[in-house]
Chain A
Amino acid sequence: MDYEVLVIGSGPGGYHAAIRAAQLGKKTACVEQEYVGGVCLNVGCIPTKALLHVAEDLREAKHAKSYGIDFGEPKVDLKKLEAWKSGVVQKLTGGVRSLLKGNKVDLIEGRATLKDPHTVQVGDRSVTAEKIIVATGSEPIEIPGFETDGERIVNSTGALLVSEVPKRFLAIGGSAIGLEFSDIYHALGSDVTVVELMDEIVPTADRDAAKELRKSFEKRGIKILTSTKALNQKKTADGIEVTLERGGERETLVVDKILVAVGRKPRGTGLGLEEVGVTVERGFVPTNAHMQTNVPHIYAIGDVTKPPLLAHKAMKEGIVAAEHAAGKPAAYDTIVPAVVYTSPELASVGMTEQEAKDAGHKVRVGVFPLAASGRAMTLGVSEGLVKVIGDEETDLLLGFHMVGPAAGDMVAEAALAIEMGATLEDISLTQHAHPTIAESFMEAAEAAHGMAIHVANKRRR
């Protein structure tokens, strides 16, 4: 055998798996067909976050007028912006390359396919390995009638290249990717509409949190059309005429650029997995808690295994797979936080109120509005909330949902609380620094007991 561990794909899942396997002394290789660092670093998390930071700066510059600072009308140099964003990506992907090298992982560039259960073909090279970890990720779903042309109708990758600011921008899909790009294009000056098939944006989020985010978007002038389907489109000289269907009624919307962000599909097919006996279901590769497929020496991790399609989940699964492949008794048993990096951010971990009820819990709910937070006021923020879900009988924290500044960082405290089995009381009793946004978590927990100090308490169930 050429290698003890061979990883296919160098995204967050793949490079975590490869590095951990090498740390454990395994002779390891990682195969990559397109870009080292995968979707997250090249065309996902990192470039979107860079653009969102710029959007935030633009908004802040305008907002500053309300407290007496006038920066004038911001001018955006799109070329410079692109160069900066690409620079961030290059620095990080270069970092992954040197981490792989530093850990003595062989990087093999090319497209991998399985020839037999222990042999991977990359170009004209045949590589054998004792254990194989599949980390091939996912790609955007296309919808019929809205085929991307890379210019006027784009997917997330196309939307990342802001060569000009469209006058009218439409996002089809009201989840993280659609909303993040809506935020970016709106800040850059586009007139933005979001179309979502379900009856609320971010359908996986807690209802109250999603509503709060929607309110904030609408206040800013972003149009959100829920329970609406984009039926078809026609490109004309004046723009793209989109037919929308809502409650049986049809209407036409004319826009200049369309982002199709209706979801992503796993890359589990076309790799030769099924041919060597690995079960693949609708493109996803099912695994057990050790991340093994039904063929025990073949593992699968990240977007190709199952939702949620998130980078930190892929990373954790990569570590579990590598450790297990190296003979350790590792298993995936942690709870996945999720963040939408719009302004305000939406972050959550654990169960939504509905999920907790469906799981049979008698729930105790506490809400703290950021309008009552001193720190939020000093930041000029008047919207947002923290909502906690607890179990009425045991007081255990079941879920945390937040809309507000730095929600994505705040969610880490809640994730730790759930992992440690904290009760709402434990959170109330933890001294939080004042004034901070983090205090809102403590007060939401207090509110669940009708004991918050900075808001009138109404106990809710």
Chain B
Amino acid sequence: PYGRPLAVPAARKLARELGLELTAVAGSGPHGRIRVEDVRRAAEASAPA
């Protein structure tokens, strides 16, 4: 809803700080709700080795 991925405010903020698009993060909550941990995991996965 609201034309944005379902994510808690802190996850939205962290994604912005890490320069990640929320659409590129897999949410682990109900209905794919994105949590802070999900953003961290996605950031680690996309970080250059």
Contacts and interface: CB of A to CB of B under 8 A. Distances in A.
B16 A331 contact: yes
Nearest to A426: B30
B8 A329 contact: no
A421 B2 contact: no
A419 B8 contact: yes
Interface in B1-49: 1-2, 4, 6-9, 12, 16-17, 19, 29-31, 33
If over half of A's interface residues share one DSSP class (helix, strand or loop), that class is named, otherwise mixed; here it is: loop
A191 to B, nearest CB: 43
A333 interface: yes
Nearest to B2: A335
A414 B1 CA distance: 15
B42 to A, nearest CB: 16
A421 B19 contact: no
B6 A421 contact: yes
A316 to B, nearest CB: 11
Contacts of A419: 8-9
A333 B4 contact: yes
Give the bracket for the number of chain A residues in contact with chain B: 10 to 19
A328 to B, nearest CB: 8
Nearest to B17: A329
Contacts of A333: 4, 12
Contacts of B29: 421
Nearest to A330: B16
Interface stretch (A101-109, A151-159, A337-345, A391-399): A391-399
A398 B12 contact: no
B16 A421 contact: no
A272 B17 CA distance: 34
A329 B19 contact: yes
B29 to A, nearest CB: 7
B36 to A, nearest CB: 12
Contact of A420 (B8, B19, B31): B8
Closest 10 CB pairs of A and B: A329-B16, A421-B33, A421-B6, A394-B31, A419-B9, A420-B8, A329-B17, A398-B1, A333-B12, A331-B16
19 contacts: A328-B17, A329-B19, A330-B16, A333-B12, A335-B2, A391-B1, A394-B31, A396-B1, A396-B6, A396-B31, A398-B1, A419-B8, A419-B9, A420-B8, A420-B9, A421-B6, A421-B33, A423-B30, A423-B31
Interface of B: 1-2, 4, 6-9, 12, 16-17, 19, 29-31, 33
Interface of A: 328-331, 333-335, 351, 359, 361, 391, 394, 396, 398, 419-421, 423
Given A396-B6, A421-B8, A423-B30, 19 more contacts: A328-B17, A329-B16, A329-B17, A329-B19, A330-B16, A331-B16, A333-B4, A333-B12, A335-B2, A359-B1, A391-B1, A394-B31, A396-B31, A419-B8, A420-B9, A421-B6, A421-B7, A421-B30, A423-B31
